[in-house]
Structures are given as C-alpha cells and as structure tokens.
C-alpha cells in the first residue's frame, strides 16, 4: 500500500517563507514528497538519491539557510512493522554517533499517516564508487587514507555498540573541507546506517537468524547467513573495500553463495594482488577476508594499526616490497629495519674517524646523511599520519617510543628530536585535540606525556577544536575543561587569551558557554593578568558566568 500523504503539510504560504524558496520547488506528480514541509520546518526541494530503506532528498529549513539531507522510508516499507522499526533503529543508531568520518543526524520525525523521515547533514562531495568508475584503481597510499577514515568512524560506532553492516564505496563520500590554513583536505565520510545492528561488549544484543540485509559482495559469511554480527563483520567489509580500491574490482563473485565458507577464499584473493601492490597489502587483505571471524583482525583499531604501519612503511613511495621473494633469496628486512641497520653501521664508522685516522670516506658520510634524512622523513610521516587520523592512544604510544629513544641517547637522537618537533605546532595537533573532545579517552601517563611534551601547542589546539563550528554538547565541554586542567600551567596563556578575546561580550552574555568552560578550567589561584581577565566577567548578565568569575577572584585574594 502506498504511503498516505494526505496529511503531509505543504510549504507555508508566501508571506511565511521567502518567495525564492517556494519558486525553487518543483513538485512532481509521481513524487508527492516533493514540496512537503516536514516537522513544520523542512521544505523538501529535490530528490538526490536512494538508500537501502529510503529515498534521500535535499531540503531547506524554513528559517535557517543551511540545506539538509532528508531520508524518507520507501513507500512499500511504510506499513511493514519490521522495516519501520529498522528505520527508527537507524535514526537512534546514527544519533549517538559524533565523528568526523560519519554522517551527522540532525532530526527525526513522523508525519500523520505513518510517514517517517530522518534529517542529516547534507554532504557536498564525490561518491567513492563514482571516483572508482572514473579513475580506476587508486594508488595504495590514497586507498589507505580512505580506509583509515572509514575505520576511524567504524571504531567510534563499535565503541557505542553499533555494527554498520553495509560498508561499500556507494556509502562513502569524499568531502573536501578547509583545514586551519584554508587548504582543502579530502576526508572520507561513511553514511547509510540503514542495516546497522546493535551489539554489547562484543556480544550481539539481537540474536537469532534474521534476513541478510546489506550488499552481498561486501557482506561477511556470517552476515550472508543471517547470523549474529560483531565488529569483525565490518572488518571483513573493509577488507573487500581495500581490495577494490587498489585493484578496481571485487575479490569475490557475490552471486556464488556456495563458497562463503571456503577457507581458501581469502588466500586466493590476496594472491591475486599483483607483485607491484606488495606483500604487506596482501597480508592485510588476506587476514581481513578470513572466512572465520576469529582469524580476522579483532577490531577496527587493530586493522587501523596495520594500515598505519603499512602507511609508515610506504613513506613517500606508492608501492610496498615484493609479496614473495624467490625461494633462493632470503626475504629483505622491512624498510625501517633495513634503514636503521645501515644507519647504525655508518654511525659506527663515523665514530672511528679521529685526528690520527682522519676520515671515513666521503661516500660513507654522504650515505650516513642520506640514511638519516630518509629515516627522519619516515618517522615524521608516521607521526604526522597518526596525529591526523590515529587514535589518541596510538599517538601517545608513538610519542612515548620517541621520547624513550631520546632519553636513552641523552638527547643525541637527532631523528627523534626533529620528529617530536611536530608537537610544537598547534596546527598539527588540532585533529588529535578534536578526538580528545569527541571521544571518551581516559587520562593516563601516555596521553599526559603528549600534552606535557606539546605544552602550549596542545592548549591552543584544544581551544581551536572547542570553538570550531559543529556539534557541541555537555560531554564535549566537560572533556575540554578536563584536558585544559590536565595541562596545568601550559594552558595559562591560552586561557588568558581566550578570556581577552571574549571580553567584548562580557556584558552581553554572548558565547556564555565558552566563557563558562574557560572559567571552569582556571587554576585554583589566578595571578596577574589572568585574574584581571577573569574579573572582567564579574558583571555578566549570565548568572553562572558571574558566579564562576567571582569565585575565581575570591580564590585568588
């Protein structure tokens, strides 16, 4: 039965909405949803795509200029209780997610007559399947960047008990967003949670056999059989995605259902990769596509760690070592190890250069300089990638190793010194700070070591992440205050500068939430210009801000 749209509220009259908005609507006789006003505020303007459970439209808010994407449950699903429940589950699943690599849900509603809709941020970008169709196989380095973004979003979802279940290029958008310097940075965003399922601590909350929803070519064996899913099912789909990005084709024939349990499928898929792609890629693909989920990567974080390691090995190159050397030749050591061995050998010869035994040959000195430069480039690339895409724990682990090398060498490890200088620039730390605010990261010695090492740069990055436009909420604000308090004296100048910047609004109450967060992060005793800056908000019209400002002054007197 078709959806009953008799009660669908049409666009408000011209006197309530700008004439330009109404004239831009072109309702079509075969699509009654066009022109509807959803929830009394979203005017449907244009159909832009279709998902598993519904069609996607562009809509405009009656009062706000920002357009949104609205998904409407397909008409033939509107009266099916199971699909209605799943559409509601998609809204609930996506609403608890807040990550740069996932689409953001804005609103959800149901019109009279059972007409359900879901409003999301409208993403302007290129669908990954269209990019593949136009460009063909992607360079390994670019494929890694895309899959790392997808894995980061999935790790965030898995931490909240949600399995996506439909990871594929058609559900991934490549969106260009300006960074702090105004340069466009392309990020991958995963959308379409129409077949998402819930789990709890690795055990699926939904149990029992159910219809195998999803796209068969990307579905794990257990998903094809309608069994319970966990994070490793998405790991399998990411393995298919990675293979398709570097090869331009799918690893398996989705129509061949009889071979889903074939244990040799992953081996055949990885062996199909050409030698130019490399053995490390084949190893990751083979493990991700294992038929038994216990043989796969245990989590998205584990898969991301393998991809980051591969990215570090690639460095500035686009190919990895050969997959399998001839039997008569022993496999070469990994690039990092090989370079470090060469660097150690040349260093030893350089130390033997004395006044009596004048010199290591010029060629050896050149080799030493070259080897050190290559190792530095590789280390800086690895830390830079982790700061950009990695989890806070992964960043902290890398920094701890570099600091340990520096301490062991008593400050003489030039590569470690130069690599750690990345932490001196706030712009490098903004993505790291963004994850500290958007994820539940427990303070610990490793994280605190990163903050202490970067000092004021971390405070500036946290400030930039806090005032950036986007989703905000109590949890994010609490994390901002906690991390600034953990920084201690290093955050003092940033707190003072923030209060000075906000001081023109002290008597108007504007940006009261930001002022409140800064005042909460002040040290127990403020001195000098920090105290003066805080006292400037003692006459704020916002009671909470006024109370915190007066308390800061009282503590310092």
CATH code of the domain covering residue 111: 3.30.200.20
Residue 93 lies in a domain: yes
**Any idea which residue has 């190893």 for tokens?**
283
In a domain, 330, yes or no: no
**pLDDT single digits (tens) 146-170:** 999 999 999 988 888 888 888 999 8
Pair 81, 184 in one domain: no
Domains held by the chain: number: 3
- Select, from the ranges 123-137, 193-207, 270-284, the one with the highest average predicted confidence (pLDDT): 123-137
pLDDT for residue 243 is more than 50: yes
Averaged over 277-284, what is the pLDDT?
79
The whole-number pLDDT of residue 348 equals: 52
Element (H, E) at 117: strand 115-121
Contact predicate 372/415, CB 8 Å: yes
105 and 145 inside one domain: no
Distances in whole angstroms, Cα of residue 146 to Cα of each of 91, 216, 246, 384:
25, 22, 11, 16
Max CA pair span of the chain: 99
pLDDT digits (tens, 9 = 90+) for 213-242: 677 888 888 888 777 888 999 999 999 999
Confirm if 551 and 511 have CB atoms less than 8 A apart: no
Q: Report the alpha-carbon distance of residue 394 to residue 10 in Å, rounded.
A: 51
Same domain (yes/no): 168, 272 = yes
Whether residue 95 is found in the same domain as residue 167:
no
- pLDDT at position 8 is 52
pLDDT at position 449 over 70? yes
Is the pLDDT at 124 greater than 50? The verdict is yes
Residue 472 within any structural domain of the chain: yes
Q: Establish if 67 belongs to a structural domain.
A: yes
Tell me the pTM: 0.50
Residue 532 has pLDDT above 80, yes or no: yes
Q: Is 2 a member of any domain?
A: no
Q: Final residue of a domain: which of 273, 295, 314?
A: 314
Confidence of residue 471 (pLDDT cuts 50, 70, 90): low
Residue 400 clears pLDDT 70, i.e. is over it: yes
pLDDT tens digits for range 499-517 = 998 888 888 888 899 999 9
CA–CA dist 550, 557 (Å, integer): 11
Cβ burial of 175 (10 Å; 0-12, 13-18, 19+) is buried
Q: Which of 121, 151, 181 is the last residue of a domain?
A: 121
pLDDT at 544: 92
* Catalytic-role residue among 166, 228, 234, 517: 166
Predicted pLDDT at 269: 67
Question: Residue 86 and residue 105: Cα distance in Å, rounded?
Answer: 16
Domain check: are 155 and 297 in the same one?
A: yes
Domain boundary among 69, 93, 121: 121
Same domain, 111 and 130: no
| Domain of 104, in residue numbers | 19-121
User: What is the arithmetic mean of pLDDT over 17-38?
Assistant: 54
Backbone angles phi, psi at 203, to 5 degrees: -100, 135
Do 99 and 148 lie in one domain? The reply is no
Q: Assess if residue 407 is contained within a domain.
A: no
182-191, 200-209, 296-305, 405-414: which has the minimum mean pLDDT? 200-209
Residue 108 counted as domain residue: yes
Given the structure tokens 């970008």, which residue do they identify?
125
| Known catalytic residue at 166 | yes
Q: Does residue 66 register a pLDDT over 50?
A: yes
542 and 444 inside one domain: yes
Residues 258 and 138 occupy one common structural domain? yes
| Whether residues 51 and 148 fall in one domain | no
Give the CATH number of the domain where residue 130 resides. 1.10.510.10
**Which one is predicted more confidently, 202 or 455?**
455
For residues 113 and 5, the answer to whether their CB atoms sit within 8 Å is yes
From 286, 248, 256, select the one nearest 268 (Cα to Cα).
Answer: 286
Residues 277 and 139 reside in one and the same domain: yes
Q: Quick check: is 137 in a domain?
A: yes
Q: What is d(CA 429, CA 433) in angstroms, rounded to the nearest whole number?
A: 6
Span 198-212, pLDDT tens digits: 553 333 334 344 455
Contact 295, 287 (CB under 8 A): yes
* Residue 91 and residue 24 share a domain: yes
């Amino acid at each position: 039965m078709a959806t009953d749209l008799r009660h669908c509220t049409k666009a408000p009259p011209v006197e309530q909405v700008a004439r330009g908005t109404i004239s831009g609507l072109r309702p079509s006789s075969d699509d009654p949803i066009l022109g509807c006003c959803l929830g009394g505020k979203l005017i449907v303007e244009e159909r832009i795509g279709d998902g598993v459970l519904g069609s996607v439209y562009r809509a405009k808010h009656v009062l706000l200029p920002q357009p949104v994407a609205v998904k409407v449950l397909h008409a033939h699903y509107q009266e099916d209780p199971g699909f209605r429940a799943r559409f509601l589950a998609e809204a609930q699943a996506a609403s608890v997610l807040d990550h740069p690599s996932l689409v953001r849900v804005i609103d959800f509603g149901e019109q009279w007559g059972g007409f359900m809709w879901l409003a999301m941020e409208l993403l302007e970008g290129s669908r990954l399947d269209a990019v593949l169709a136009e460009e063909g196989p992607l360079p390994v380095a670019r494929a890694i960047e895309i899959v790392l973004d997808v894995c980061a979003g999935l790790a965030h979802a898995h931490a909240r008990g949600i399995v996506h279940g439909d990871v594929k290029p058609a559900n991934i958008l490549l969106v260009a967003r300006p960074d702090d310097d105004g340069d466009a940075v392309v990020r991958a965003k995963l959308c379409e949670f129409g077949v998402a399922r819930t789990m709890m601590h690795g055990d699926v909350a939904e149990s029992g056999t159910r219809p195998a929803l999803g796209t068969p070519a990307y579905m794990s064996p257990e998903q094809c059989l309608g069994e319970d899913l966990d994070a490793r099912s998405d790991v399998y789909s990411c393995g298919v995605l990675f293979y398709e990005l570097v090869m331009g084709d799918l690893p398996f024939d989705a129509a061949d259902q009889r071979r889903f349990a074939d244990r040799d499928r992953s081996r055949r898929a990885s062996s199909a990769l050409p030698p130019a792609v490399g053995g490390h890629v084949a190893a990751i693909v083979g493990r991700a596509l294992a038929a038994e989920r216990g043989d796969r990567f245990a989590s998205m974080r584990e898969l991301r760690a393998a991809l980051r390691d591969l990215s570090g090995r690639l460095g500035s190159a686009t190919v990895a070592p050969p997959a399998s050397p001839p039997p008569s030749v022993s496999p070469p050591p990994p690039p990092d190890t090989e370079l470090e061995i060469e660097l150690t050998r040349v260093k030893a010869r350089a130390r033997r250069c004395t006044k009596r035994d004048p010199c290591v040959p010029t060629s050896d000195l050149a080799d030493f300089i070259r080897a050190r430069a290559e190792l530095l480039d590789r280390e800086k690339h690895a830390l830079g990638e982790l700061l950009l895409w990695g989890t806070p724990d992964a960043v902290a682990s890398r920094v701890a190793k570099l600091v340990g090398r520096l301490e062991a060498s008593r400050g003489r490890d030039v590569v470690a010194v130069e690599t750690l200088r990345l932490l001196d620039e706030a712009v490098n730390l903004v993505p790291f700070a963004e994850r500290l605010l958007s994820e539940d990261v427990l303070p610990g010695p490793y994280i605190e070591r990163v903050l202490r090492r970067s000092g004021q740069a971390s405070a500036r990055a946290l400030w930039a992440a806090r005032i950036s436009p986007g989703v905000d909420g109590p949890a994010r604000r609490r994390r901002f205050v906690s991390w600034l308090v953990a920084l201690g004296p290093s955050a003092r100048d940033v707190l003072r500068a923030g209060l000075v910047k906000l001081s023109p609004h002290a008597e108007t109450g504007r940006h009261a939430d930001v002022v409140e967060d800064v005042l909460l992060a002040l040290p127990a005793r403020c001195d000098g210009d920090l105290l003066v800056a805080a006292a400037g908000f003692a006459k704020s019209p916002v009671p909470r801000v006024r109370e915190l400002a007066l308390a800061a002054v009282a503590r310092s007197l």
